[in-house]
Amino acid sequence: MAVLYLVFNEGYTATSGPSLHRVDLSGEAIRLTRLLHRLVPADGEVAGLLALMLLTDARRPARTRPDGALVVLEDQDRSRWDSTLIAEGLALIAGTLGRFPVGAYQLQAAIAAVRDEATTAEATDWPQILALYDVLERVAPGPAVTMSRAVATARVHGPRAGLALLGTLDGNPAAGRSHRLYAVRGHLLELSGDYPGARDAYLEAARLATSLPERHYLELRHARLTAHGSA
């Protein structure tokens, strides 16, 4: 399952190169996970992993512009999301939670379900997402979970609370090598109104990013805040 999820993630957000997606990899990961689910239908984590992949991949058509530029979740045209994949993923996770011991893939799928059920970015149930991340951090702690939980905390309790949680990763070697730590910090600093700090964080995130679409997006955020500061 861990390998399949790594393959899916590399297909959904390629770690390097000019394209955000490698559909061959994400599609193959979904195909193999469907096969695994058929072989062990009573495994709740396999069902959760498949649901997570489907609910995530459903958003892929809206993640890029015609020129390949990245579109973040809150700016996506949700009418372009794949409703068939969403329905399948929702049914899978609904039939899994409560029937099997809860695991990390089921929790991540539940978070993806809450995101996909929101008809607009503003309608997202952030308190529910934060509650799920609280459980996920107990079940499968790690820097990536803490970063996502910091974003959810900011949405519920304000950006300063999110930044305080994100600060617990300062000095973490694994987190410090990731562009995502600086991208999240830039986002939360921007929400808090600290535009100079956000500019610096976005610039460092862009320096560390190896995916060209992600790097270009971060450079654009930095440029926009630079223009905002000089206006």
What's the confidence (pLDDT) of residue 169?
94
In DSSP terms, which residues pair with 70 in a beta bridge?
Answer: 64
Q: Which fold has domain 140-231?
A: 1.25.40
Residue 229, pLDDT > 80, answer no
Report whether 25 contacts 5 (CB < 8 A): no
Domain coordinates of the chain in residue numbers? 1-124, 140-231
The position carrying tokens 């990899």 is 25
Residue 14, pLDDT > 60, answer yes
Residue 231, pLDDT > 60, answer no
Torsion angle of C-alpha atoms 76, 82, 85, 87, degrees rounded to 10: 90
The three-class DSSP label of residue 71 is coil
Task: Indicate the length of the chain as a whole number.
Answer: 231
Q: How many CB atoms lie within 10 A of CB 96?
A: 23
What's the confidence (pLDDT) of residue 107?
97
Residue 111, pLDDT > 90, answer yes
* CA torsion through residues 38, 39, 42, 48, sign: negative
Structure tokens at 226: 């630079």
What's the confidence (pLDDT) of residue 186?
97
- DSSP H helical segments within the chain, as ranges? 2-12, 23-39, 44-57, 83-94, 104-117, 126-139, 143-157, 159-166, 173-176, 179-192, 195-208, 212-230
Q: How many CB atoms lie within 10 A of CB 173?
A: 7
